[in-house]
Amino acid sequence: MDKLREGGFLISKIKQVSARIFDKKLKEYEITDLNTAQGRIIFSLWQQDHVPIKDLVSRTALSKTSLTSMLDRLVQMDYITRKPDEADKRKTVIALTEKSKQLKKRYEAVSLDMLAVFYEGLTEKQIDDFETTLNHILNNLNTYEEGYK
């Protein structure tokens, strides 16, 4: 592949605009104290709770240093708790609080609303193909980054 593509540039732009819109929608749905980035962390905890920070690194694709300070804030706002793992004291276990569990339905409503904008005018088949390709690319990148270490 030697043609100069612009996929990465497009992804950056989409991410940027999406985050701005999603932030506004969160406010509209009266989720006033969470932003898109924090939502991403909570979202991945809904899928699996009580996980060490290392797992959150791979599940959110954020660096562990980025996560540390974001988790600080989420603890402060009572969305999550931090507890040392008794079995392996190097680890810190992150868990959801009642407050964040109760948020789930409303957050999913925002997501659906957002997805409607995102995928407007595309067929189910196109969306399926698109998400398959996204997963493929993410896998490429993860493999590559893993090899760096």
Partner DNA sequence: TCATTATAGTACTATATAGTACTAATGTCA
Partner DNA sequence: TGACATTAGTACTATATAGTACTATAATGA
- Footprint of DNA (CB under 7 A): 16, 19-20, 23-24, 35, 37-38, 40, 52-54, 61-73, 82, 85, 88-93
Q: Which does 95 bind (CB under 5 to 8 A by kind): DNA, a copy of itself, none?
A: none
Q: Position 68: which residue type?
A: T
- Give me the residues that bind a copy of itself (CB under 8 A), please: 1-2, 4-22, 24, 40, 43, 60-63, 108, 111-112, 114-122, 124, 126-127, 129-131, 133-138, 140-142, 144-145, 148
Full 3-state SS string of 7-24: HHHHHHHHHHHHHHHHHH
Asked if 55 and 92 touch (Cβ cutoff 8 Å), the reply is no
Q: Which does 145 bind (CB under 5 to 8 A by kind): a copy of itself, DNA, none?
A: a copy of itself
Q: b vs e for 68-101, b when ≥16 Cβ sit within 10 Å of the residue's Cβ?
A: eebbeebeeeebbeeeeeeeeeebebbebeeebe
Q: Which is nearer to DNA, 3 or 90 (CB)?
A: 90
Q: How far is the CB of 84 from a copy of itself (least distance, A)?
A: 27
Q: Which is nearer to a copy of itself, 23 or 49 (CB)?
A: 23
Q: What is the dihedral of CA 140, 39, 81, 73, to 10 degrees?
A: 100
Q: Which is nearer to DNA, 50 or 132 (CB)?
A: 50
Hey, how many other C-beta atoms are within 10 angstroms of the C-beta on 39?
A: 20
